[in-house]
């Protein structure tokens, strides 16, 4: 159980972040969901009894500092925020790609800075890596670099800021609204044929990834680890 523990979820209005919010709340945690869009947060709040919400932007240092300045303590932080840009590294503006990388890596660091001093004993940070760290996909080169960077960030901070714990969860092809933004006309359906090649031939669910995140929060012997939740996709 997580009774009276304070959990903060950056990117908690939908997808995996929202699934973690539901799971942590069910275990008795006090959960604060953070996102950029108030409308999405309010919709999430209506679906999760007791969920607290706050608008903040992982790309804005002052926004994050203000967020954590309001909290007396924190037990666990999960960072689900992050998207990607699909395309060749030789095309489009390099700044468009750089922003997606910065959001995942430097955004995670920007969260850790104001939050780490509020952590109670046994506290943890969980980052979001991904399948593309192990299985690069043409066009998704930014994701491959960024997710690997966040997984490595968990390992190095597990030493730099011990005894705080730092881990990562690495989802495979997961049924979340993120794909609707990347592929507006096809959404998650574009992944169906790809997922059929997995050893477990289907998409991962957000709830399955959330189970791994909750394990990393609750098991105080795990640090510097990446848990793969990918239906075996990295093996094929």
CA atoms of 108 and 222, how far apart (whole Å) = 19
Among 10-19, 92-101, 176-185, the range scoring the smallest mean pLDDT is 176-185
pLDDT confidence bin for 187, thresholds 50/70/90: low
Give the pLDDT of residue 122.
95
> Is 87 a residue whose pLDDT tops 60?
yes
Strands in 6-10's sheet, in edge-to-edge order, are: 52-55, 30-35, 6-10, 74-79, 119-128, 165-171, 226-229
CATH T-level fold of 6-235: Rossmann fold (3.40.50)
Give the pLDDT of residue 188.
61
Mean pLDDT of all residues in 110-122: 97
Q: Do 29 and 92 meet the contact criterion of CB atoms below 8 Å apart?
A: no
């Amino acid at each position: 159980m997580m009774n009276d523990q304070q959990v903060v979820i950056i990117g908690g209005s939908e997808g995996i972040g929202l699934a973690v919010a539901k799971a942590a709340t069910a275990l008795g945690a006090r959960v604060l969901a953070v996102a950029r869009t108030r409308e999405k947060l309010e919709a999430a709040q209506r679906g999760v009894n007791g969920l607290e919400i706050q608008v903040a932007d992982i790309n804005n240092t002052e926004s994050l500092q203000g967020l954590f300045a309001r909290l007396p303590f924190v037990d666990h932080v999960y960072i689900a925020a992050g998207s990607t840009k699909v395309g060749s590294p030789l095309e489009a503006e390099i700044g468009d790609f750089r922003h997606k990388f910065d959001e995942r890596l430097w955004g995670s660091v920007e969260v850790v800075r104001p939050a780490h001093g509020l952590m109670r004993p046994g506290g943890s940070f969980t980052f979001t890596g991904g399948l593309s760290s192990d299985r690069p996909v043409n066009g998704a080169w930014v994701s491959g670099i960024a997710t690997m960077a966040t997984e490595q960030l968990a390992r190095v901070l597990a030493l730099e800021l011990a005894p705080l714990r730092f881990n990562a969860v690495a989802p495979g092809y997961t049924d979340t609204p993120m794909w609707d933004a990347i592929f507006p006309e096809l959404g998650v359906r574009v992944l169906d044929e790809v997922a059929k090649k997995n050893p477990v031939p289907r998409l991962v669910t957000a709830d399955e990834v959330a189970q791994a995140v909750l394990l990393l929060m609750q098991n105080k012997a795990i640090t510097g680890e990446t848990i793969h939740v990918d239906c075996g996709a990295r093996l094929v």
